[in-house]
Chain A
Amino acid sequence: MYSQKVMDHFTNPRNVGDIPDADGVGTVGNPICGDVMKLAIKVRGGRIVDAKFKTFGCGAAIATSSMVTEMVKGKTIEEALKISNKAVAEALDGLPANKLHCSNLAADALHKAIEDYRQRKQAESA
């Protein structure tokens, strides 16, 4: 039911962990629903230089988290904001239909992390 790419990211997830001095952190999902993703980013000169995740969830939840951290590295903030849940699923050669809504939240976590980064920057300059 899962593509080879999903299974690859599920069995060898990239960028698992925390970034202690992260510039932005985003958490989405709800333990009651069975999916929680926490994504941390490091930003240098307007570019995302590092991204790490921790995820509680099914195979799709873990694979999408892993994939989004790969996709976002080296991207500018503006480019990163264009990454959608759909794009993450496509990069994994698709997800089973029942997973597209419940477990495909990784880009949302990324966007939240960017929002957090922007708020922190605003607070700094204020």
Chain B
Amino acid sequence: MRRVYLDHAATTPVRPEVLDAMVPFFTEKFGNASSIHSFGREARTAVDESRDVVARALGADPAEIIFTSGGTESDNTAIKGVALANRKKGNHIITSAVEHHAVMDSCKSLEQLGFEITFVPVDGTGMVSPDDVRSAMRPDTILISIMHANNEVGTIQPIEEIAKVAREAGVYFHTDAVQSVGNLPVNVEQLGVDLLSLSGHKLYGPKGIGMLYVRKGVKISPYMHGGGQERGRRAGTENVAGIVGLAKAIELAVEEQGEYARRLARLRDMLIRGVMDRIPDVVLTGHPERRLPGNASFCFKFVEGESILLNLDLQGIAGSSGSACTSGSLEPSHVLLAMGLPHEVAHGSLRLTLGRDNTEEDVQYVLDTLPGIIERLRAMSPFGR
């Protein structure tokens, strides 16, 4: 059976170049980067060089790069670290209603500690308005955290404008760029951000490694305490192989970003147009233009998302959904609800996210397969037409 992977927003395969770069650091170059001997120095050199590569790719200074275990740790560190270090300045944080749970739940955990959080709304396309951020600003605001691009619906936020709002007020600005690096140009100077989170496995690097950019001068408390690694900002023996892999992955992703995005956008548009043409009662979720090049997300009325996923999987197609069943709770995706979609429509969500290995034939296969699945489920549905 044909197998088509369309869940690149969940994770991506490690590129062969990345794996090749990593392998020696599991075996012959296994040293601890903190050790003084030649084994340690070998590892230290690799970590230093990787930091240079990552910094260059993002327009940052190497001293501004902290390696972490992934996007979730980066988000937790950024939000809790800034909040705790700047408590004397204020206790108000602004974020959006469509953030990844790593941001949203970090903010909620701070509410327990007495911080106040404002969740700015989004419009029907999932966009945050910089004006809403401005009006949410208070004298005691210490941090704004708005994602660069949404993981579910792919909407790209006006980060540069929000960064201006933050800068004018002298408030730190964090962005979760886990979905955007490799898909969009990401330069910390151009975006104007103070903190930026990134994950390895979303850009053809390994799982278990990520990075947090922290602009020089930003006051932040460490999240992990211990051996003083990462200049005391993130304790724990460096994941040398992971760091080397992350650097290689980012280097390639940034180098190839333009061509990669163009290729994916062409496939995405073919997929979106094909689905909208072939299937009635479907809603495209997210912004029609300002969306990630690989993201095609929909809601199919009168059917439920998990049923769609199971049927697609039986045909070899891997996708994801924001329905309650797939979100592991009784509620459908908070992103879809924040965009104003009714519960019953949000339950019919399907996200297909394209990547490097996808072809036109893959898209055609989905377009040949999906309409029959939706039709069959609708025939079974008490709301079917």
Query: How far is A62 from B310 in the complex, measured between Cα atoms in Å?
Result: 12
Partner of A34, one of B310, B343, B379, B380: B343
Judging by beta carbons under 8 Å apart, are A32 and B306 in contact?
no
Q: Does any Cβ of A come within 8 Å of B302's Cβ?
A: yes
Most buried by B among A13, A32, A36: A32
- Is A34 a contact partner of B323 (Cβ separation < 8 A)? yes
Residues of B near A33 (CB, < 8 A) are 324, 330, 343
Interface residues of A in 42-87 (CB under 8 A from B): 54-62
B314 touches A31 (CB 8 A): no
Q: Which residue of B lies closest to A61 (CB)?
A: B304
- Chain A: CB-nearest residue to B329: A98
Chain A residues, CB < 8 A from B383: 31, 36, 56
The answer, yes or no, to whether A103 is at the interface (CB within 8 Å) is: yes
Query: Are B324 and A102 within 8 A (Cβ)?
Result: yes
User: Do A58 and B343 touch across chains, with their CB atoms under 8 A apart?
Assistant: no
Which residue of A is nearest B332, CB measured?
A34
Chain B residues near A16 (CB-CB < 8 A) = 379-380
- Which B271-306 residues have C-beta < 8 A from chain A? 302-306
- Contact call B344/A31, Cβ cutoff below 8 A: yes
B residues near A61, Cβ cutoff 8 Å: 304
Please state if B310 and A10 are interface contacts (CB–CB under 8 Å): yes
User: Are A34 and B382 closer than 8 Å at their CB atoms?
Assistant: no
A16-B380, A34-B332, A102-B330 known; A56 vs B304 contact (CB < 8 Å):
yes
The residue from A32, A58, A99 contacting B304, defined by CB atoms under 8 A apart: A58
Choose from B302, B310, B332 the contact partner of A56 (Cβ within 8 Å): B302
Q: Is B191 in contact with chain A by the CB < 8 A criterion?
A: no
Size of the chain A interface, CB-CB below 8 angstroms? 28
Q: Mark B311-336, 1 if CB is under 8 A from A, else 0.
A: 10010000000011100101010000
User: Quick check: B382 and A56 within 8 Å, CB to CB?
Assistant: yes
The answer to whether A56 and B324 have CB atoms under 8 Å apart is: no
Range, interface on chain B: 20 to 34
* CA of A54 to CA of B380, assembled, Å: 5
Residues in B with CB closer than 8 Å to A57 are 304, 307
| Cα of A99 to Cα of B324 in the assembled complex, Å | 11
Q: How far apart sit A35 and B328, CA to CA, in the bound complex (Å)?
A: 15
Q: How far is the CA of A81 from the CA of B54 in the complex (A)?
A: 66
Q: Which residues of B contact A102 (CB under 8 A)?
A: 324-325, 330
**Do A58 and B382 form a contact, CB below 8 Å, given A10-B310, A31-B344?**
no
* B380–A59 touching, CB < 8 Å: no
Nearest B residue to A31 via CB reads B344
For B45, what are the chain A residues with a Cβ–Cβ distance below 8 Å? none
Residues of A with C-beta under 8 A to B325: 34, 58-60, 99, 102-103
Residues in A lying within 8 Å of B, measured CB to CB = 2, 7, 10-11, 13, 16, 27, 31-38, 54-62, 98-99, 102-103
* A–B Cβ pairs within 8 angstroms, 22 of them: A10-B307, A10-B310, A27-B382, A31-B347, A33-B324, A33-B330, A33-B343, A34-B304, A34-B324, A35-B304, A36-B381, A36-B382, A37-B382, A56-B302, A56-B304, A58-B305, A58-B323, A58-B325, A59-B307, A59-B310, A60-B325, A102-B330
Q: Which 7 A-B pairs have the closest CB atoms?
A: A31-B344, A58-B306, A58-B325, A34-B347, A32-B343, A54-B382, A38-B382
